[in-house]
Structure 1
């Protein structure tokens, strides 16, 4: 019988358990950011996300428009709000836009960042007998349906010569998946950072890791993150100008994260309730690597592959033409989407 791991409640604060790249949950409309002018940009965010990093980097100063922030627990409901015109722009991972496109939602991918996928991982308990992905055949794996981890699981299984039908998939949102993983009710968990760092680092203070990585997404998935806008907002000249400025600020904030990883980890830990050691590990593994890139044809092709994969598995009902869901007007002189992620530098 597998050793029981530390209780789920000791691993991640509730606020972060609710923050994910997949799943269903309503928005919590909250704070605003004062600025000059009559335009208000409605921005969708997640806990410890865009607002936190922009504020930490000093990029919310001297705004010529106002920002109304709406905090979501995950990517899919954020995109539902974009489709409903309740949100003008917001950030998500690489898979929620594919499912939104499959539902023929009114969304446009307007900006992208390319980073490593080392934080997207299939985790197993520390004392698991599993040593390689091929041994997952017949085993139970928790994953959030429609999340970036969902595609990472499919890609990693394919590399191991397996498919979803070869394993027992348990579609669980992070809070339930964490509980199942730590209590030994599933053999593995496909998830993303900072959950990966939390499981590897262990409890408070980063002592005593609770699991290890069986496979990660590096080289298996595209490592892209997006800002997605409402076409109606893009059609409004003043809002489109505000979105352009907002995206420029986000890109500069990402440069700040790369140059100030410890400072960002401190802010992020405070904002989410994560232990500092876990936040820093996640920043080193995932966040600092991201490079602002263009929304270009290779990006469209990569997302099309994800869409076709989910369509072939009948998890998306219709054929998706991902090119219909992008807007390239904000590319400027950004490098191509295939640009290599940054390498974290120790300071």
Structure 2
């Protein structure tokens, strides 16, 4: 099999999603943090199933590899998505209870008054979020993309990265041609030279670099905040049993993230197997894209508000909402005790 076919196959495999969950949903106006219901006992969780949105090599793979999915008092059912925006949609519709996304999908959720809350935060230096150009490209800086086509997932962390790079370069989205494509389609367009650059995140970044020799035009390090966020549906947070199970899950996820940081080689191998990619790509991705749990504090919230404002300025979303109004820190003490 040719490298091109293997590359396309890897991207397609990574992009399997629950299509039924990605349509438009009706949104409420739950913008204030409600009082959390009292926690229940583990014995009361035997009939609970948490529906968790995931991306290939994400939450499920990490929890399993670290052993943190063992011994839960509740069941966990995972659904695979291509990116964060449809996860926010699904959580708003009550079709999933929880998901971990990049820094931008919650911003779009806030703008749309999505019925979600941001309940946990994760840190990364954003070096795996990159803008790639083909191996034979003569472009050498982001400013060289003026008038060029950039493939990017709308509402994804890569979309936010592009807007911030435009700001840094003194440009606007009118100075480039944004081609909104999900990762598999974007990868195909990139390989066929139908776009000049691709804004993308790991593991797609690593797969493309290893299999096609794509060059890094720039990374998001020092430009975007690199945060990830745990989002929970308002319905789940209002349910005493699911709320209790969610607290346990985010604690387990924090412990799993710490385990991955302490066992990078083991995690990279498990990750590569879970995603079904070249171990070299898995090692490259996980060497720069781990996200340990951090406090959901004022600095994190302020950074996200700045990202929200950048999207408002670009005309991508309406203004008027505050990111802080969609933050719920009910699990902060439990997560802090686990890290």
| TM-score normalized with structure 2 length | 0.86
Deviation at 1:230, TM superposition (A): 1.4
Q: Equivalences for 1:319-338 in 2 at 5 Å?
A: 319-332=320-333
SS at match of 2:174: helix
The answer to whether structure 1 residue 114 and structure 2 residue 114 are counterparts is no
Q: CA, structure 1 residues 215+8, in 2 after alignment: closer, same or farther (shift >3 Å)?
A: farther
Q: 1:198, 1:72 → 2: CA distance?
A: 18
- Report how many aligned residue pairs link the two structures: 313
Residue 26 of structure 1 corresponds to 20
Residue 89 of structure 1 corresponds to 98
1:43 to 48, 52, 57: 52
Q: Equivalences for 1:236-275 in 2 at 5 Å?
A: 236-275=239-278
Q: 2:151, 2:20 → 1: CA distance?
A: 22
Q: 1:26, 1:9 → 2: CA distance?
A: 28
Q: Considering Cα pairs closer than 8 Å and 6+ residues apart, tell me whether 1 or 2 has the greater RCO.
A: 2
Deviation at 1:12, TM superposition (A): 4.8
Q: Deviations over 1:25-71 (max 9, x none)?
A: 4359xxxxxx9723222222222211111111111112112222222
Q: Deviations over 1:208-256 (max 9, x none)?
A: x421111100010011101111122222222222111101100110111
Retained in 2: the 8 A contact 1:141–1:170? yes
* Range moving further from structure 2, 142-151 or 75-84: 75-84
Retained in 1: the 8 A contact 2:16–2:82? yes
The answer to whether structure 1 residue 293 and structure 2 residue 301 are counterparts is no
1:10 to 7, 18, 43: 7
* Range moving further from structure 2, 317-326 or 117-126: 317-326
SS at match of 1:228: strand
Moved over 6 A (4+): none
Q: 2:204, 2:48 → 1: CA distance?
A: 37
Q: CA, structure 1 residues 171+129, in 2 after alignment: closer, same or farther (shift >3 Å)?
A: same
Q: Going by fraction, where is helix more abundant, 1 or 2?
A: 2
Q: Deviations over 1:141-165 (max 9, x none)?
A: 1111111001101111222222211
Q: 2:133, 2:79 → 1: CA distance?
A: 34
Q: Deviations over 1:163-188 (max 9, x none)?
A: 21111211121112111111111111
| TM-score normalized with structure 1 length | 0.84
Residue 339 of structure 1 corresponds to none
Residue 142 of structure 2 corresponds to 133
Q: 2:7, 2:47 → 1: CA distance?
A: 45
Residue 39 of structure 2 corresponds to none
Retained in 1: the 8 A contact 2:309–2:319? no
Q: Deviations over 1:51-93 (max 9, x none)?
A: 1111111111121122222222321221112111222211111
Q: 1:301, 1:282 → 2: CA distance?
A: 28
The answer to whether structure 1 residue 282 and structure 2 residue 285 are counterparts is yes
* Range moving further from structure 2, 240-249 or 265-274: 265-274
Unaligned runs of 5+ in 2: 23-43
Residue 61 of structure 1 corresponds to 70
Q: 2:218, 2:5 → 1: CA distance?
A: 22
The answer to whether structure 1 residue 183 and structure 2 residue 177 are counterparts is no
Deviation at 1:262, TM superposition (A): 1.9
Q: 2:179, 2:20 → 1: CA distance?
A: 23
Q: CA, structure 1 residues 305+77, in 2 after alignment: closer, same or farther (shift >3 Å)?
A: same
Q: 2:91, 2:328 → 1: CA distance?
A: 15
Q: What do you get for the CA RMSD once the two structures are aligned?
A: 2.2
Q: 1:307, 1:292 → 2: CA distance?
A: 22
Q: 1:44, 1:98 → 2: CA distance?
A: 17
